[in-house]
Amino acid sequence: MNPKIHNWRGQRIWIIGASSGIGAELARKLMALGAKLALSARNLGALQLVSAGYAETMVLPLDITQSSEILTARDAILAKWEGIDLVLIVAGTYQKMRAEDFNLIAAKQLVDTNLNGPLNCLDAVLPVLLSQGKGGLGIVASIAGLSGLPQALIYGPTKAALMNLCQSLYLDLRPRGISVYLINPGFVATPLTAKNDFTMPALISAKTAAKEIIHGIERGEFHIHFPKRFTNWLRLLRLLPYRLYFWLIHKVTGL
């Protein structure tokens, strides 16, 4: 559904959310493959650790909720590279929440980071990609966006919105020569999932997640989801009648 990538050497890639977890591992793997990288996140020290020893890296700290900071970083990238081949929006946050624990402030913070943050990024990068008539855009959502799940009262809806957003972006951008990648991980061992107090089925490492993403992009996939032994199960559940879906979710999770 997207053009295949056979060689990463010299590719100009901006990873937003590169200080830890999946974003940091993506950066390390793409460094090894010879790409040019711009790394962004709030934590400057962590970004510097990720980029240490690799000359083809720009470190551009920013807060994804601050549009002006993203625009400033974009301008710095264009001043040096004169274009961008791939933007990967990985930044996001998680806070478990159920109806009895609903907190409006926390809910708005989740929306601001997980949904408004990527929209801020689109405001900065879409004009560049459209002007180029080439390049790619990948957004990390979550398999939790497929359907309602316990403890994901706000997190799930933000990821569902990103899934819908990527589908619409693909319809608009692919005819214009721009690739779009919807990235839906299952459970990945990161500082965010370390907060969970339940058994996470098919848990994988951030290194494995980064490998899956890179391979999916190389193959030209639109929907990159993993591990498939878990994500395909959830995709199947989504097709069930609600009566059966709700019963199974309660039975499997105990929640």
DSSP category for residue 97: B
Q: What Rg do the C-alpha atoms of the chain give, in angstroms?
A: 18
Instruction: Please state, in angstroms and as integers, the Cα–Cα distance from residue 145 to each residue in 141, 219, 237, 254, following that order.
Output: 7, 23, 13, 20
CA dihedral over 69, 141, 6, 9, signed as positive or negative: positive
Rounded Cα distance between 190 and 21, Å, is 5
Helix (H) or strand (E) segment spanning residue 67: helix 67-81
**Apex CA 208: angle with CA 207 and CA 210, to 5°?**
65
Q: Which residues contact 110 (CB under 8 A, 6 or more apart)?
A: 93, 94, 95, 154, 155, 158
Phi, psi of 90 (to 5 degrees): -105, -25
The secondary structure of 102-157 as a DSSP string is --HHHHHHHHIIIIIHHHHHHHHHHHHHHHHT--EEEEE--GGGSS--TTBTTHHH
Q: Which of 54, 94, 155, 170 is catalytic?
A: 155
Determine the residue type at 187. Answer: F
Q: Is 245 a catalytic residue?
A: no
Q: Left if phi > 0, otherwise alpha if psi is -120 to 50, otherwise beta: which for 82?
A: left
Q: What are the residue numbers of the active site?
A: 155
